[in-house]
Amino acid sequence: MSTACFFPPEILQNIFQILIDYANKTIDIRIRKFTSLQKCLLVDRYWFSNSVIFLWKNPLRPNHKKNYTTSKLLITTYISCLSESSKNFLYENNIINFNQKISTPFCNYNNYLRDLDFTELFYKVSYFLLNPDDENLDIITLDKSDPIEIIKSYDDDIMNQKRILLFGELVKLFTSQTFSKLNYNLKLINWIKNKIRKFPHLQYLSNFISPNSSLLNLNYVEFQSCIPPQIFIELSNIISTIDEIYIKLDIDNVALFNFLYNLKKIHLLKIDFDHFKFKIINNLIKFTSFITDNYELIIPSDEFIPLDLSLNFTKITGLEISDSGIDSIDIVKSWSNFQFLPFLTTLKFSTSTLIKLDLELYSDIIKKTNGNLIKLGISLNDGLFFHNIHLFNTISTYCPKLRDFDLKIKGRLLYYIPLILQNCKNLEKINLEIMDDKNITLLMYKIGKELSKNLKSFYIYQEVVKWDIKFFHIFLKYCRLNSLYNLKFKFKYSQSFENMKNYLKIIKKYINKGTISRWSRIKEITNNNNNNNNNTNLILV
């Protein structure tokens, strides 16, 4: 290729960025799109130099199908980028071999990194140091293993020390980049779920951060309050601000309070309350109000909400009632005692009930938001709910700004959805999960007539599908008549049904017309259960 035929770098890089953007929209197409970009490396040096920066922006991401293999390759590559002194140090501690010590990279891949999750890096280091022969494990098993199980299995003090040292040298490598800005994350949600109490990669983190690096701004952090106090003290030495933080409050921890108090800024503080029994809660609210303007609360549905909590929280923007089973109407009434609801932009009810529940209580809470809701999620799971019409009338009347609507209901309640669509004209995303096997295609046809022209994403799931192909066709026809273009439509079911080829023809027809995103595709997954029956998932993404 002659120089005259080269795309300018900014145009070529824009093309590559499009490939990455579509690859990141869905797991289903990620491999295919990254393969396309990888082929660009082979054109010539010019294309290589412009495409490699995208392939190495965020390689430290989960790969649940090839955890071990990708970790080996990535960490080996980054080891080759280490300084000579770091390689000598690792070699002397029997962490790398001689070939790794003398290896040199084709280019400085570490300079292209833009997203660094400390925990994900630690996972990959842990995989890298595994020896399948010693562990009596095959590579296929390791590739599909859960990283958290690998972390839990490290009982050898020597091996534990090795992974801490290797992790530390790589952190120094990444944080020494003075000419590029890294997006830092610290995700511990799996550690929370698995009740892991040791955090070896965080114990000495301040020693690993390059001395040339200033205090860090983290994009996202998640942890629980039961983390050992010394970890919070360690984090206080390196973190200045946090864009979004999620905290699971399960015990009192003064060190957590001090860590938050010493931060300069938190954009969003998300607190998941286990129970309102900890003394630190009121102090947490009181002493973080000067560094954040946005709180989101997650509260168990079997918990009474104390009135003083609502009086202290004047900056709440999100409230989620998580499903724990409701056994008292008085509990729901306590939610209605909140004083600050006009500040809410996000509200979610994920509740089941052991009693008869009047949904007017939900309606009262929505009314108090004063029309400011942008995101609303309602799951009417197990239990007996009544006054459904009042709830849907309230949504249609009191949610004019609604953009994101997530609903988990029985099929007959879809009857009320057109009412919401007629009044909520700003809807961009709709998620519907149907909890029974009712034939809903006639109702879907009515929904199609009212879809907002702003709609960008529509997802529907039903376990057992009984769809009439005629009304399915009419539903998509109304999408087109409503001037919907490039709609991301996702249709999923778990049991196969007849006339699937006809459904696929209709879907492809509307992809060609531009109604459905041309980047959509069908994925069919078949799993055999113990009875040798086939369950099929069809997803249009």
- What is the domain range of residue 24? 3-55
pLDDT per residue rounded down to tens, the chain (541 residues): 444 345 555 555 565 565 555 544 433 334 444 555 555 555 556 666 666 777 788 888 887 678 888 899 999 999 999 999 999 999 999 999 999 999 998 888 898 898 999 999 999 999 999 877 766 677 888 888 888 888 777 666 777 889 999 999 999 999 987 666 789 999 887 776 666 767 888 888 989 987 777 789 999 999 888 888 999 999 999 999 999 999 988 888 889 889 998 999 999 999 998 777 666 666 777 778 889 989 998 988 888 887 666 666 678 899 999 888 888 888 888 887 777 788 889 999 988 887 888 888 899 999 989 999 999 999 987 667 877 889 999 999 999 999 999 999 888 888 899 999 999 999 999 988 888 888 887 888 888 888 888 888 888 887 776 777 788 888 888 888 887 777 777 666 655 656 677 777 888 888 888 787 765 544 443 444 444 333 333 334 3
| 141 contacts: CB under 8 Å, gap ≥ 6 | none
Residue 198: which residues within 8 A CB-CB, separation 6 or more? none
- Predicted pLDDT of residue 493: 61
Residue 38 lies in a domain: yes
The whole-number pLDDT of residue 393 equals: 94
Asked whether residue 511 is assigned to any structural domain, the reply reads no
Q: State the DSSP code for 325.
A: -
Q: Transcribe 190-218 into DSSP letters.
A: HHHHTT----HHHHTHHHHS-TTS-SEEE
pTM value is 0.79
Task: Identify the pLDDT of residue 172.
Answer: 93
Position 499 in a domain: no
Token pair belonging to 245: 């933080």
21 in a structural domain: yes
Q: Which residues pair with 316 in a beta bridge?
A: 295
Structure tokens, 63 = 């790969």
At 387 the pLDDT is 77
| Within-domain flag for 486 | no
Decide if 414 is inside a domain: no
- Backbone dihedral region of 344: left (phi > 0), alpha (psi from -120 to 50 degrees) or beta? beta
pLDDT at res. 28: 39
Number of domains in the chain: 1
The torsion angles phi and psi of 537, rounded to 5 degrees, stand at -110, 125
Query: For the chain, give me the number of helices (H) and strands (E)?
Result: 25, 17
Read off the tokens for 405: 């609507």
- Contact status, residue 446 vs residue 411, Cβ threshold 8 Å: no
| Residue 8 counted as domain residue | yes
Number of neighbouring beta carbons within 10 Å of residue 159: 16
Within a domain: residue 298?
A: no
